[in-house]
Chain A
Amino acid sequence: MDDDERALSPQEMLRLIEQQETAAAERFVPDPVPHFLAWGVAWLAGYGALFLHYGLFGRPYAPVPAWAALTVLWVLMVAALVISAATMWQLRSPVRGPSQERGTMYGLSWALGFLGVWTVGIRFGQQLPEAETGLLWAGLSMMTVAMLYVAGGAVWHERTMFLFGVGMAVLNAAGVMAGPGWHALLMAAGGGGGSIVAGLLLRRARRR
């Protein structure tokens, strides 16, 4: 009988179960914290800059040109996309099966969602005044993001993700109705700030 076969005390066996479950969960389940933090920073800084550009009552709060604010938003969003793909996609995961298929389908739904945003934005954006074009793009993309978070929450039964999506959908609708400055403010504070808070809460839950 080798060492592998010799049973330990119930306490030690239980500890072995708990240790192994934690190690396995870390390996099998992607860590969502970098994703939430990266998108939070992108929206907070990007929409924050747009908010300063638009102002709430038609006058800018700071001399930030639109192109500069949009550059901040887009560059940080691309960076966040790379971070999400690297941490959530798990190309080198040893797991095969329905989870992998579900992840692929969900990833595809993001690509299709943004294909819709681009086509509608390009087709109709040209016919609107500058501020309205910006709001069209921002409103469409945040609506898509909100719906995909809601759907993701349903697919993985993740309440944080679902509730965050619900919050974004409500803020986005309110912001689009209120105008570009308000929309930028709500997306920076609610979307960006909310995503950072969700990331920090998830990190605490994971470490417990």
Chain B
Amino acid sequence: MTSGLDPVIHAPARLRVVATLNALREGDTVTFPGLRDLLGMTAGNLSVHLGKLEDAGYVEITKTHRGRTPVTYVALTRRGRLAFEDYTAEIRSLLDAASPPADG
């Protein structure tokens, strides 16, 4: 029944990452530590999931420098936003199909 769901997003940790990034306004990015704090994940764990999302073309990771300190910014790509919207719509339709329509 759930086989049609996007396997890249259909994992709790990555779903949380994508839902968080989707809350950014289009064009905005968030720092890696900022994202890590919001998700309460370890840096290593977050890196692994971001790597998978990046491979799928869902997130864009920009590495740059502020003075001498390296900073990493993360954002959802257009494709990532669409994938999250599709996923949310599918989850909702699964729930609608599973529960009988409320009559009132």
**In the assembly, what is the distance between CA of A10 and CA of B94, in Å?**
7
**In the assembly, what is the distance between CA of A23 and CA of B35, in Å?**
11
Binary CB contact string for chain A from 1 to 42 against chain B (1 if under 8 A, 0 otherwise): 001111110110110110011011101100000000000000
Is the CB–CB distance between B31 and A10 below 8 Å? Answer: no
- B residues within 8 A CB of A96? 28-31, 73
- B residues within 8 A CB of A7? 2, 5, 10-12
Is the CB–CB distance between B95 and A11 below 8 Å? Answer: yes
DSSP majority for the A interface?
Answer: helix
Is the CB–CB distance between A24 and B28 below 8 Å? Answer: no
What is the CB-to-nearest-CB distance from B47 to chain A, in angstroms, rounded to a whole number? Answer: 13
**In the assembly, what is the distance between CA of A24 and CA of B27, in Å?**
16
A98 in the interface, Cβ–Cβ < 8 Å?
yes
What is the CB-to-nearest-CB distance from B48 to chain A, in angstroms, rounded to a whole number? Answer: 9
Query: A94-B30, A95-B28 known; A10 and B98 CB under 8 Å?
Result: yes
Q: Count residues on chain B whose CB falls below 8 Å from chain A CBs.
A: 35
A87 in the interface, Cβ–Cβ < 8 Å?
no
Is the CB–CB distance between A14 and B38 below 8 Å? Answer: no
- A residues within 8 A CB of B16? 16, 20
B83 in the interface, Cβ–Cβ < 8 Å?
no
What is the CB-to-nearest-CB distance from A120 to chain B, in angstroms, rounded to a whole number? Answer: 36
- B residues within 8 A CB of A98? 25, 27-28
DSSP majority for the B interface?
Answer: helix
B24 in the interface, Cβ–Cβ < 8 Å?
yes
- A residues within 8 A CB of B11? 4-7
B23 in the interface, Cβ–Cβ < 8 Å?
yes
**In the assembly, what is the distance between CA of A23 and CA of B38, in Å?**
8
- Contacts A94-B34, A99-B27 supplied; 14 other A-B pairs, CB < 8 Å: A4-B14, A7-B12, A8-B12, A13-B91, A14-B91, A27-B34, A28-B28, A93-B34, A94-B38, A95-B29, A95-B34, A96-B28, A97-B25, A97-B28
Residues of B participating in the A interface, judged by any CB pair closer than 8 Å: 2, 5, 10-16, 19-20, 22-25, 27-31, 33-35, 37-38, 45, 49, 73, 75, 88, 91-92, 94-95, 98
* Contacts A/B (CB < 8 Å), 10 sampled: A4-B14, A7-B12, A10-B94, A13-B12, A13-B91, A16-B16, A17-B15, A20-B20, A94-B38, A96-B30
